[in-house]
Chains A and B, each alone.
Chain A
Amino acid sequence: MELAIALIFAGCALGAGIAMIAGIGPGIGEGYAVGKACEIIGRQPECKGSVTTTMLMGCAVAETTGLYALVIAILLIFVAPNLLGNKLISLISENKDMVKELAEAAAKKG
């Protein structure tokens, strides 16, 4: 049972790490947007107000995907292990005899 719980924890941690790969994209996009905005304001300083508003909106929208990834990672780290661990424990306690038989058979084979 310890092995099963450890596997669940490991899978959740790996999944959270993989989910956070989605945080790379918004960073690249925002950096590109800032570069272009600096360029445009240097060329046309009178457009600063509209560029600021547009960039603020654009950055906020671009960050949304990173936020999705963060929420998924938090769910996988804090919520999923408890849910899955509790379900596994209840499943094992319900089928104690079957688990015992399987363990004995495995021990005989080993």
Chain B
Amino acid sequence: MKFDSSVRREIGYVTLGTALLTAAEIGVFYLCGYYAPKVLFGAILSAVGGILNFFLLAVTVTRVLTYSPEEEAAAKGLLKLSRISRMLFLLAILAVGVIFFSPWSTLITVFFPRVIIGVRSVAVRRESAANAPIPTDGADGDEPDESENGDPDEGDADEPEPKGSDEDGTDEN
């Protein structure tokens, strides 16, 4: 399956970020005096599980978006199947980590991909806001909020009009 370049980039970010955070977590455990091989193995198992979970989500999303709007039910079914199987996979990974390795390092590490995704989603939102097209036709083109609405004069419609204008507009009375 061929991934979109943006999806590949996100997978790379998540993998790299999770690896860095896991290393930092192991360092904190070591500094606190709780380091043991079980802690290391639990963290690695959980990190691999979290990254694989995100990769499988990317595979599912990429495949789901090839469906046409008429096949919406099939797309939803595929996503549901993927979600249930990924949840069972994570359950198995966490159960193995908690029973055979360290529970705390296993359970903390599984949240690291989510932290990276949260940070990335904020960064992507900022990037898209920075790359938004700046209006050139309006006289006051320096207001980004107005350009998002599409009509720079739309904001003026919400402002209260002076009393005299209403009276002038009602010529029938």
Contact = CB atoms under 8 A, between A and B. Distances in A.
A53 B124 contact: yes
Closest 10 A-B residue pairs measured CB to CB? A42-B69, A53-B6, A60-B117, A57-B121, A31-B76, A78-B98, A64-B114, A56-B61, A38-B69, A74-B94
Contact of B79 (A34, A41, A78): A34
Interface in A39-63: 39, 41-43, 48-57, 59-61, 63
Given A34-B75, A70-B90, A74-B95, A60 B124 contact: no
Given A42-B69, A78-B99, A70 B94 contact: yes
A85 interface: no
Nearest to A20: B87
Contacts of B94: 70-71, 74
Interface string B1-28: 0001111001000000000000000000
Contacts of A27: 80, 83
Contacts of B64: 34, 37-38
A35 B87 contact: no
A52 B6 contact: yes
Interface of B: 4-7, 10, 54, 57-58, 61-62, 64-65, 67-69, 71-72, 75-76, 79-80, 83, 87, 90-91, 94-95, 98-99, 103, 107, 110-111, 113-114, 117-118, 120-121, 124
A70 B165 CA distance: 61
B67 A38 contact: yes
A34 B98 contact: no
Interface residues of A, number: 36
A51 B57 CA distance: 15
Interface string A77-103: 011000000000000000000000000
Contacts of B118: 61, 64
Contacts of A59: 57, 61
Contacts of A30: 79, 83
A10 B51 CA distance: 34
Given A57-B10, A61-B121, A78-B98, A41 B65 contact: yes
B83 A38 contact: no
